[in-house]
Amino acid sequence: MTNDSDTLIRVEDVRTHFFLDEGVVKAVDGVSFDLARGATLGVVGESGCGKSVLARTIIRIVPRPGRTIDGAIWYHRPSEGGGERPIDLASLEADGAEIRDIRGGEITMIFQEPMVSFSPVHTIGDQIVEAVTLHRNATREEARAIAVDTLRRVGIPNAESRIDEYPFRLSGGMRQRAMIAMALSSNPTLLMADEPTTALDVTTQAQILELMADLQEEFGMAMMLISHNLGVVAQTTERIIVMYLGKVVESADVRTLFRDPKHPYTQELLKSVPKLRRRRQTERLAAIYGSVPSPYERPAGCPFHPRCPQFMAGECDVIEPTLKAVSEGHSVSCLLYSEETDS
């Protein structure tokens, strides 16, 4: 718990595990981070690293058989009087009234697949108005006006008529804009976007990212952007956490991370990002050696060691590293740096 008035969300050692017949998948395994009011955070990692589950853990919509078994999510909820009241989201009933009030109202989320994230048999307007009436004291007419207004602000032309369209009549980019409008319509304090541009083509991607950056400033909300693509995240956020197999391996602001990546995994990730100013045309993009191991058989010691180019036998496969600060605002979870800080 913290009294820092700037903090919006403080995640403390959260664990969300999936209990399957084949074994337990530790999708999120002891993640901690802070997010300030109005700040932006990028969460990066390969698919299966638990970044999407992390977002779902925060608003408590982890699908069965997943369960958040440990940790706290302190959300500093603005109260009527102007002050704030910290609530541990992790301790709330997942389908209870309080979390449902926050979910979709104060903390909203955008998903990866705009094509299938809207119900195909309800109009866009119906689905946005529903979100508005749930969280704002508004009549249907007022809610509709808010919906039209938000649709306009996300750059949908003819919002007044488009609001009555069914999703299948909109293009992918338009649908993602409508999705953003839905997430913004309740004036959230935090917007989480899970791979919001992955399913879109490159031009639309850039437009959507730009739109999100603009809207973040305009609405003054905090934003958490989840992506497997470091480039996308760097473009839009100030801080980045890098996840691997359910753990945070490195956390830093964008500049530091790009200039001075500490964790070998981050270094490898950076090598796989295409750069415009490449030294030679022939230089090839590096791929990370190997692939993410089976979720049921997490390697002992540092989870990254089987793929790590700087693997130290007898240490990395035995000792599990923890997240340690290497400099102000830059922490890393790697045994390469443990001596420097420990001794």
Residue ranges in contact with other proteins by CB under 8 A: 59, 61, 63, 95, 99-105, 108-109, 111-113, 116-123, 127, 130-131, 134-135, 166, 168-169, 179, 182, 293-294, 297, 299-301, 306, 313, 317-318
Could you tell me the smallest distance in angstroms from the CB atom of residue 101 to other proteins?
Answer: 7
8 touches 190 (CB < 8 A): yes
Could you tell me the smallest distance in angstroms from the CB atom of residue 120 to other proteins?
Answer: 6
Could you tell me the smallest distance in angstroms from the CB atom of residue 300 to other proteins?
Answer: 5
Among residues 120 and 274, whose Cβ is nearest to other proteins?
Answer: 120
Could you tell me the smallest distance in angstroms from the CB atom of residue 48 to other proteins?
Answer: 16
Could you tell me the smallest distance in angstroms from the CB atom of residue 343 to other proteins?
Answer: 26
Could you tell me the smallest distance in angstroms from the CB atom of residue 114 to other proteins?
Answer: 9
Among residues 121 and 202, whose Cβ is nearest to other proteins?
Answer: 121
Could you tell me the smallest distance in angstroms from the CB atom of residue 271 to other proteins?
Answer: 23
Among residues 129 and 326, whose Cβ is nearest to other proteins?
Answer: 129
> Within a 10 A sphere around the Cβ of 285, how many other Cβ atoms?
10
Among residues 128 and 326, whose Cβ is nearest to other proteins?
Answer: 128
Could you tell me the smallest distance in angstroms from the CB atom of residue 106 to other proteins?
Answer: 9
Distance of alpha carbon 34 from alpha carbon 41, whole angstroms: 9
Among residues 258 and 311, whose Cβ is nearest to other proteins?
Answer: 311
Among residues 99 and 163, whose Cβ is nearest to other proteins?
Answer: 99
Among residues 102 and 243, whose Cβ is nearest to other proteins?
Answer: 102
Among residues 30 and 306, whose Cβ is nearest to other proteins?
Answer: 306
